Amino acid sequence: MITYQIVFEGTIISSATFDKADFTPEVLTCVDQSGTIDRVISATDSDYQSVKQAAIDNHVLQKIPEGSFLLPGFTDLHIHAPQWSQAGLALDKPLNEWLNTYTFPLEAKFKDLSFAKKVYQSLVKELLAHGTTTGLYFGSIHNDANLELAKVCAQLGQRAFIGKVAMDNPEQTPDYYRDDSSQVSLKETEKFIKALQELQNHTQAELTPVITPRFVPSCTDETLYGLGKLAQKYNLPIQSHCSESIWEDRYAQERFKKSDTQVLDQFGLLTDKAVMAHGTQLTDADFKLFRERKASLAHCPISNVYFGNSVMRVQDAHQKNINIGLGTDISGGFSPSIYRNMQQAVMSSQILKDNGNDNARITCANAFYLATIGGAKALHLNSGQIKPGFKADLQIVQDQYFDVFSNNASDIFERLVYHTNKENIKQVYVSGKLVHNSVGEDNGK
């Protein structure tokens, strides 16, 4: 019999399809020494008791208390790491003012490594405490600060995809915060790729460099072209913004006579490893190109209320076979919680429906799929589901109203989506390793 790293006993909730979440009581979720789920054993299976007893004997049984549930960890597909310390500030301002008065000056401060480390320690701890086991990060233009972010993620145990932000267009970026030239931008990007790969080899942490043009307006043609070539050379993920707002959408048309999507594709930046945030202005033709390139979308519903000028058509994109996940878009989105963004995704879809898109409504099950399976698929991760062969990225969540409200399975699921706060997330695991614990390390054992 396999000696497991940990065995969880209790009810699991995991997406089965876009429209359905499975609620499975009385199971053993067995995590092997590599941090992978080896088996999910039902109470009716013949070896349930023997596996449970072996786990008890080896002191690895983690009993999930009544009223708490084992869920997959979340993937956040869009985080501006250096913006964390302004989360919730100036969101009543126009985007241009928000960027130039608040955001760019803040990001420029990250050349100070002590400041960067302090902010990133706070951010990553907060994300883990909210159940986010994988983060896709925009860094700043500063390689040393970006490596600080990577070191913090390695130290705290979060899986991280991190990009050095490329921005060199003097017409759209301030002189105090941009790459000095296209050559510098591309050289520093490649330097960061190699440094992060070296750090990953040294720490054995789950760290991946990401090609990161801030967005089309912030980059010259030479930089966009060079970043596409670097993505191809190193076979790396790509992240950027795509048609986030009316202004960004029109900018691409005015500069290139093409849509934002077509411009990204032109420069080799729309690939099956690309994750493009927002997409509130995408047309059916843009969706078609996303589908053909197998690129993914990061839906950031809270941020889009402030800066997106519309709501991304999640149902339309899904029905056109485009993969979609969720992003907080810190700090265009004020909350580090994917739960809050699941809630907003459902609410915003109703607004889209009320404005004439009859197909727009999404459910809690749809939003949960985006937070788990959709995000993991975007990054080509075997994660986001509780089943054999998948990474043990998990969260133990307490239903704070279990003793008061209905205990019907579907009611519990929707209640968790709508009512879970950080205080209800008791433990979080990444690849089977405990990375957040609000109840004491010996809880339940």
In the structure encoding, which two tokens stand for residue 30, read together?
A: 């067995």
Distance CA 307, CA 334 (A): 12
How distant is the alpha carbon of residue 160 from its chain centre?
9
In the structure encoding, which two tokens stand for residue 80, read together?
A: 């501006």
pLDDT of residue 356: 86
| Locus of tokens 């896709």 | 136
In the structure encoding, which two tokens stand for residue 424, read together?
A: 């209800």
- Comparing CA positions, the residue from 372, 376, 399, 414 lying closest to residue 275 is 376
Domain 74-378: what homologous superfamily?
A: Metal-dependent hydrolases (3.20.20.140)
Distance CA 286, CA 123 (A): 34
H helix intervals, 337-397: 338-354, 364-369, 375-378
Report CA-CA distances (Å) from 114 to 104, 151, 246.
Answer: 19, 13, 37
Q: Are 252 and 263 in contact (CB under 8 A)?
A: yes
* Residue spans in the chain of domains classed CATH 2.30.40.10: 6-72+384-437
Residues of the chain below pLDDT 50: 441-445
pTM of structure: 0.97
Distance CA 33, CA 340 (A): 33
* CATH class of domain segment(s) 6-72+384-437: mainly beta
* Residue spans in the chain of domains classed CATH 3.20.20.140: 74-378
Q: Are 43 and 27 in contact (CB under 8 A)?
A: yes
Report CA-CA distances (Å) from 73 to 278, 364, 431.
Answer: 22, 16, 10
- Comparing CA positions, the residue from 117, 105, 126, 4 lying closest to residue 56 is 4
* 3-class state of residue 44 by DSSP: coil
In the structure encoding, which two tokens stand for residue 132, read together?
A: 């986010």
* 3-class state of residue 7 by DSSP: strand
